Amino acid sequence: MRSATETIVVPKRKVERRAVPPRSKLRQYLPFYLSIAPYYVVFLAFGIIPIVFSIYLAFQRWDGIGRMQFVGLSNFVLALTDPVFGKAVLNTFLIWIMSTIPMLFLALILAFFLDQRQRSKFAYQVCYFLPNITSVVAITLIFNSLFGPQYGLINLTLTALHLPAVQWLTGSWAMKWAISIMVIWRWTGYNALVYMAGLQSIPVEVYEAGRIDGASTIDIFFRITLPLLRPVILFTVISSTIGGLSLFTEPQVLLGNNGGVGNEGLTMSLYQYWQAFASYHFGYGAAVSWIIFFIILAFTLLNWKIIQRGQN
Amino acid sequence: MVEYGPRYKRWIVDLILLIGLLASIFPFYWMIVMATNTTSDIYRLPPKLIFGSYLLTNVAHVLQNISFWSNFLNTAFVACTVTVLQLFFCSLAGFTFAKFDFPLKNPLFVLLLGTMMLPSAGSLVALFVIMADLGWIGTFLPLIVPSMVTAFGIFWMRQYALGAIPNELIEAGRVDGMGHLRLYWHVAVPALRPALGYLGILSFITAWNDYLWPLIVLINPKLYTLQVALAQLNGVYSTDYSMVMAGTLMATIPLIIIFFLGARQFIANLSAGAVKA
């Protein structure tokens, strides 16, 4: 009896479904919308609303507790005329150049050689990637001891080699190099792995053709490998631009909220943190974050254009 | 792959790779050397360059100066919660985007990709104020809720689901009368396991290492995560390097273990992700 009723019920349902399509359509789509909804809700609440609110905030004077006071463009004027902020912008770009160029160059060399190694590459890949998964705070603390003025290992080595010791934590250029060295150490392996993935996607035949035409290894590297790697290089340049221009933790942990002696290690993001969260100038901090946003955006687009143009 | 040159070239290749490897490893070695010696053994001429026997003493000092275990539990709690939520929400959304059709699907996906380009640090002040208005400052919620589902995670899961889940399996599940959630659980999750592994390790590492945002929102020292506590430890006891290094070692080891457990898969996926992007 049971099986008989079932066979009757099933076709009946099907008929009903076809008879009222709008209602069942909604029922059909609802689970899909609910599945993707969390992201849009989170993004609206913690992505869009803060952006809109920070536009408003940038035109106010506010210490976070009292009443907000509309001050027009004066936060922006204040930031753009503050020599300390100017110094932070300059420092950020100097550190970006001092770290990104050696880092990507070393990464390319490591990737090129690692790709040539025919025995297992896995141990190398793991070790090269290890710095990247370690927290920036931990890295900075380790390097802080290596950079010690008298008994730091780097200065001990320099002295042993009869070279002058470097004041890593107080010298105006040495501080920038100290930050750059930490960035280089943390990101070279990551970029090498990215480049290697790009190298592996270049077909073997291209190299073989080059060999047959009598090209040397150096010819092959500059004439074949580099041009074919261009999209991957673009990816690494763009991500290093965004990352490098938002540098915060290294200088904050190594040198403190004000970027150390003479603000020589102060970066844009650290300046924003210092002003907003350590000095409670919330409106001013919001204005500074907008200036930083446009600097990063403009510079990223500029990089993009330069590399794209090189392609033609 | 480039053909191997003469024998001496092979030596040069191996030498350069080895220098790179030593440079990557040395700071870790140095961290352990410092954590297992006393500060005065390290800061003398010539310094001690090998492991010592003071690890437990240094660890004891760390435990005296910061509430390490509660910081550790805070970090583990936040990182695990973020990871579990992210795996669930990202894979469910990625699976839905990859395998089903519904009105406005494509515009919604393009919007999602667009949001990946927005830098998040731009509105930190405003985000903090909103968290304060919600009464979430001094709780873990600001660390968990905004990170519980990410555009990259959904994108990653969708890309993987496109190729990993056969349509026939979904059809078969539907014929059996499975609803969307049951299809997700019984058909999608088993097929998505490798992609879940990568996303899981990635989100765990990111949450574990996060510093700026926890520093801003965790006002109560009882709630400090390890990174914030470590930075404070260094700020107060910066002359006792061995103790600070012992703390750093204790905060880093769990992460390195997790990385090694999933390293093979992690590196394979990292490469794949970078080339696709």
Q: Which of A26, A33, A36 to mutate to test the interface with B (most CBs of B within 10 A)?
A: A36
Whether the CB-CB separation of A149 and A168 falls below 8 Å is answered with yes
In terms of phi and psi (left: phi > 0; alpha: psi -120 to 50; beta: otherwise), the region of A171 is: beta
- What is residue A310's predicted lDDT score, i.e. its pLDDT? 66
Q: Which residues, other chains included, contact A49 with Cβ-Cβ below 8 Å and sequence gap of 6+? A: B126, B130
Nearest one of A238, A251, A292 to A268, comparing CA atoms: A292
Mean pLDDT over B23-49 rounds to 89
Looking at the domain A75-311, which fold is it? MetI-like fold (1.10.3720)
Cβ contacts below 8 Å, chain A against chain B, sum to 262
Give the one of B13, B24, B145 whose C-beta lies nearest to A130's C-beta.
Answer: B24
Mean pLDDT over B214-241 rounds to 90
For residue B82, what are its two tokens? 């973020």
H or E element, residue A60 = strand A60-61
pLDDT one-digit tens code per residue, B88-106: 999 999 999 999 999 999 9
For residue A77, what are its two tokens? 């004027």
What count of Cα atoms within 13 Å lies in the side-chain half-sphere of residue B219?
Answer: 10
Please report the residues numbered 144 through 183 in chain B whose beta carbons come closer than 8 angstroms to any beta carbon of chain A: 145-146, 148-151, 154, 179-181
Q: Residue B46: is the preceding peptide bond cis (ω within 30°)?
A: yes
Nearest CA in chain A to B103: A29
H-state helical runs in chain B = 7-35, 39-42, 55-65, 68-99, 105-117, 124-133, 141-144, 151-164, 167-175, 180-183, 189-191, 193-209, 212-217, 226-236, 241-261, 263-276
B192-223 per-residue burial string, b: 16 or more CB within 10 A, e: under 16 = beebbbbbbbbbbbbbbbbbbbbbbbbeeeeb
What count of Cα atoms within 13 Å lies in the side-chain half-sphere of residue B78?
Answer: 29
Mean pLDDT over A195-207 rounds to 86
Give the SS3 label for residue A280: coil
What's the mean per-residue pLDDT of chain B?
89
Mean pLDDT over A179-205 rounds to 92
pLDDT one-digit tens code per residue, B49-62: 889 889 999 999 99
Whether the CB-CB separation of A238 and A303 falls below 8 Å is answered with yes
Mean pLDDT over A265-292 rounds to 94
Partner A contacted by B122 (CB < 8 A): yes
H-state helical runs in A20-82 = 21-43, 49-57, 74-81
Indicate whether A36 pLDDT > 80.
yes
Q: Which residues, other chains included, contact A253 with Cβ-Cβ below 8 Å and sequence gap of 6+? A: A136, A137, A140, A141, A144, B211, B231, B234
Per-residue DSSP letter, B187: I
Residues in A touching B3 (Cβ below 8 Å):
207, 211
pLDDT one-digit tens code per residue, A59-118: 999 988 888 999 999 999 999 999 999 999 999 999 999 999 999 999 999 998 888 877
- Higher pLDDT pick, B146 / B264: B146
Which range scores top for mean pLDDT: A90-104, B34-48, B227-241?
A90-104
Per-residue DSSP letter, A165: P
Nearest one of B218, B58, B71, B242 to B137, comparing CA atoms: B218
Q: Which of B2, B92, B210 to mutate to test the interface with A (most CBs of A within 10 A)?
A: B2
Mean pLDDT over A210-215 rounds to 84
pLDDT one-digit tens code per residue, B102-136: 999 999 999 999 888 766 656 889 999 999 999 99
In terms of phi and psi (left: phi > 0; alpha: psi -120 to 50; beta: otherwise), the region of A97 is: alpha
Quote the CA–CA distance of A137 and B245 in Å, as a whole number.
11
A106-144 per-residue burial string, b: 16 or more CB within 10 A, e: under 16 = bbbbbbbbbbbeeeebeebbbbbbbbbbbbbbbbbbbbb
Domains in chain B with CATH codes: 16-56 (no CATH), 66-236 (1.10.3720.10)
Nearest one of A263, A261, A244, A246 to A95, comparing CA atoms: A244
Give the one of B42, B129, B145 whose C-beta lies nearest to A282's C-beta.
Answer: B129
Quote the CA–CA distance of A17 and A11 in Å, as a whole number.
10
> Does the distance separating the beta carbons of A201 and B2 come in below 8 Å?
no
What's the mean per-residue pLDDT of chain A?
87
Indicate whether A257 pLDDT > 90.
yes
H-state helical runs in A82-225 = 83-116, 122-133, 136-146, 153-160, 172-200, 204-212, 217-219
Question: Which pLDDT band holds residue A154 (cuts at 50, 70, 90)?
Answer: very high
Q: Which residues, other chains included, contact A71 with Cβ-Cβ below 8 Å and sequence gap of 6+? A: A59, A60, A61, A283
Indicate whether A156 pLDDT > 70.
yes
Give the one of A109, A126, A252 whose C-beta lies nearest to B267's C-beta.
Answer: A126
Whether the CB-CB separation of A107 and A188 falls below 8 Å is answered with yes
Residues in B touching A217 (Cβ below 8 Å):
2, 5, 9
- What is residue B121's predicted lDDT score, i.e. its pLDDT? 59
In this predicted complex, what is the ipTM?
A: 0.90
- What is residue A230's predicted lDDT score, i.e. its pLDDT? 87
H or E element, residue A69 = strand A69-70
Please give the share of chain A, as a percent, with pLDDT higher than 70.
Answer: 92
User: What is the domain partition of chain A in residue ranges?
Assistant: 2-57, 75-311
Query: How far A212 CA sits from the closest chain B CA (Å)?
Result: 12
